[in-house]
């Protein structure tokens, strides 16, 4: 039997979805699943449900649970990571503390203060997983679903393990494009590349015809534009359609959440997912609703159609040689020529019996590359912060974050980071006893006299112009 270790299997719904996808794949029927989480409260529910599925569908799979990560990883052929360090409790601080300072986040798991602090909590854990894999299953492939995807995979790119980061932004965006253009999703030829949650559709064609003119026409119609105001605006001004929805994308750029006017105009519509704290509120609701009940009690045990998640299709391709194209997150290393070599890039990959084969995309359009770099700068500093435990890197990452820097001064950013590090210290052992430097306030009296210092020649010229004007 192939052995699949799922680290973070307490994510009940997502774990169930991936396991059902795999069990519904003929070539993967004989699979041993080892579910690992810090406790067995939720994994025991998954195990019980999956055993019913196995029995009622006559499958050959097996499911076991453990709280020992090394036990789960020993001899694994594949490793799936889907954990969330700190759970909803940490997520609440990621959202509410920045909001107190004026940084309004919708999702908070990819960039911004929320994404940065999620990375600080998660990167040390994923690196421990990688270290154990190097020892216990060095040939295994890690399929990562942990967010923030780009930062997690940037850190993994500095290890020796094989990995790929998986997200469903491309698939779900294709559903939207299909609906707008009235072209079946399966008939759209596309190339998407960039970074996770900010990938660009560089090619959109149907039977050799460019779909972009039609898509642009639709976005100039109010009834279509109103569904995706933020993505529509970026599309209109940057020329290419992006992989993320209003709620996500509004956080990665400085224009849409910086004040009440921008929020009211672009994001304050609950039905379209751009409202403040949308993801935290949903996670909190789900956690409360199912804290005392088993969410799987009423789930049907018949094998469903496979979901849109890439995982089962990739494993099928690796095991059988049946090629499968998808968009994955890997260390760039030239896949996208005008992004940094060491960053995490998202682009087209073909899986087959030979492994994961990247497609070389070449250069992104200059404006798309530039917007990606505003996020990559933050990712780089957040990874450094997570690995070194240096709180100054956290300050610098937040200071370069497009949304945070559009709202706060440098002093306010430092104060916010200090408060967040203090509040989340139980999940941030690498920062123990360390906090950002304090910056004293310098009072400036009304009658202060300038110090006698050399004047910048450029300022001297402007001063001379002032005298002449008089």
On whether 237 is known to bind a ligand per the annotation, the reply is: no
What backbone phi and psi angles, to 5 degrees, belong to 4?
-115, 120
Instruction: Could you please state the CATH topology (level 3) that the domain comprising 2-87+107-167+300-319 is classified under.
Output: Rossmann fold (3.40.50)
Indicate whether 465 pLDDT > 80.
Answer: no
Average pLDDT over residues 51-69: 95
78 is catalytic: no
Tens-place pLDDT, residues 379-414: 999 999 999 999 999 999 999 999 999 999 999 999
> How many other C-beta atoms are found inside a 10 Å radius of the C-beta of residue 300?
8
Query: What is the predicted pLDDT for the residue at 464?
Result: 62
Candidate list 95, 252, 313, 393, residue with the active-site label: 252
Average pLDDT over residues 21-45: 94
On whether 160 is known to bind a ligand per the annotation, the reply is: no
The residue ranking higher by pLDDT, 469 or 149, is 149
> How many other C-beta atoms are found inside a 10 Å radius of the C-beta of residue 469?
6
Residue 273: half-sphere exposure toward Cβ, Cα within 13 Å:
17
Query: What is the predicted pLDDT for the residue at 59?
Result: 94
Indicate whether 415 pLDDT > 90.
Answer: yes
Q: How far is Cα 208 from Cα 284, in angstroms, rounded to an integer?
A: 46
- Mean pLDDT estimate for the chain: 93
Tens-place pLDDT, residues 65-87: 999 999 999 999 999 999 999 99
What backbone phi and psi angles, to 5 degrees, belong to 352?
-155, -165
Question: pLDDT band at 459, cuts 50/70/90?
Answer: low
On whether 147 is known to bind a ligand per the annotation, the reply is: yes
Q: Are strands 355-358 and 344-352 parallel, antiparallel or unpaired?
A: antiparallel
Find the largest Cα–Cα distance for the chain.
Answer: 94
What backbone phi and psi angles, to 5 degrees, belong to 262?
-65, -45
Q: How far is Cα 262 from Cα 154, in angstroms, rounded to an integer?
A: 32
Tens-place pLDDT, residues 213-255: 999 999 999 988 888 899 999 999 999 999 988 889 999 999 9
Query: What is the predicted pLDDT for the residue at 246?
Result: 86
Q: How far is Cα 418 from Cα 435, in angstroms, rounded to an integer?
A: 6
Query: What is the predicted pLDDT for the residue at 441?
Result: 76
Q: Are 351 and 318 in contact (CB under 8 A)?
A: yes
Q: Are 395 and 436 in contact (CB under 8 A)?
A: yes
- Give the residue extent of every domain in the chain: 2-87+107-167+300-319, 88-106+168-299+320-433
Indicate whether 445 pLDDT > 90.
Answer: no
Tens-place pLDDT, residues 254-312: 999 999 999 988 887 655 568 888 888 888 888 887 777 777 888 889 999 999 899 99
252 is catalytic: yes
Two tokens, residue 61: 């799979």
Average pLDDT over residues 119-131: 98
Going from the C-alpha of 424 to that of each of 62, 95, 118, 370, the distances in angstroms are: 38, 12, 10, 33
Instruction: Could you please state the CATH topology (level 3) that the domain comprising 88-106+168-299+320-433 is classified under.
Output: LDH C-terminal domain-like (3.90.1820)
């Amino acid at each position: 039997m192939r052995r699949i270790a799922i680290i973070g299997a307490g994510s009940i719904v997502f774990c169930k979805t991936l396991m059902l996808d795999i069990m519904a794949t003929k070539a993967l029927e004989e699979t041993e699943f080892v579910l690992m989480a810090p406790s067995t409260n939720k994994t025991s529910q998954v195990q019980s449900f999956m055993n019913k599925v196995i029995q009622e569908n006559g499958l050959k799979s097996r499911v076991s649970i453990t709280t020992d990560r090394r036990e789960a990883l020993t001899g694994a052929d594949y490793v799936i990571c889907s954990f969330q360090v700190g759970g909803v409790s940490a997520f609440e601080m990621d959202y509410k503390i920045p909001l107190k300072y004026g940084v309004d986040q919708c999702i908070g798991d990819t960039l911004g203060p929320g994404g940065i602090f999620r990375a600080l909590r998660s990167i040390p854990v994923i690196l421990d997983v990688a270290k154990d894999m190097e020892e216990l299953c060095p040939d295994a492939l890690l399929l990562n679903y942990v967010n923030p995807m780009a930062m997690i995979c940037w850190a993994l790119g500095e290890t020796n393990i094989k990995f790929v980061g998986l997200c469903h932004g491309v698939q779900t965006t294709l559903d939207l494009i299909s609906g707008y253009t009235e072209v079946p999703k399966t008939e759209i030829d596309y190339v998407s590349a960039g970074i996770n949650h900010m990938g660009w559709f560089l090619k959109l064609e149907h039977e050799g015809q460019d779909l972009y003119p039609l898509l642009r026409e639709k976005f100039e119609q109010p009834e279509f534009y109103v569904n995706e105001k933020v993505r529509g605006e970026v599309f209109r001004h940057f020329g290419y359609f992006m992989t993320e929805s209003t709620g996500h994308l509004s956080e990665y750029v400085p224009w849409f959440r910086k004040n009440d006017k921008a929020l009211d105009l672009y994001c304050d519509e609950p039905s379209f997912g751009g409202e403040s704290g949308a993801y935290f509120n949903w996670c909190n609701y789900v956690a409360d609703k199912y804290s005392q009940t088993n969410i799987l009690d009423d789930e049907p045990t018949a094998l469903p159609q496979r979901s849109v998640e890439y995982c089962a299709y990739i494993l099928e391709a690796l095991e059988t040689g049946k090629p499968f194209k998808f968009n994955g997150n890997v260390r760039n290393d030239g896949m996208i020529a005008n992004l940094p070599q060491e960053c995490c890039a998202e682009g087209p990959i073909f899986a087959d019996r030979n492994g994961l084969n990247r497609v070389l995309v070449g250069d992104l359009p200059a404006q798309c590359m530039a917007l990606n770099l505003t996020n990559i700068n933050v990712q780089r500093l957040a990874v450094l912060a997570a690995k070194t435990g240096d709180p100054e890197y956290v300050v610098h990452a937040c200071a370069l974050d497009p949304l945070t820097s559009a709202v706060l001064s440098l002093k306010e950013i430092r104060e916010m980071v200090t408060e967040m590090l203090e509040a989340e210290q139980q999940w941030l052992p690498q920062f123990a006893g360390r906090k950002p430097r304090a910056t004293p306030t310098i009072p400036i009296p009304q009658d202060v006299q300038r110090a006698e210092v050399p004047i910048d020649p450029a300022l001297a010229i402007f001063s001379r112009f002032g005298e002449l004007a008089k």
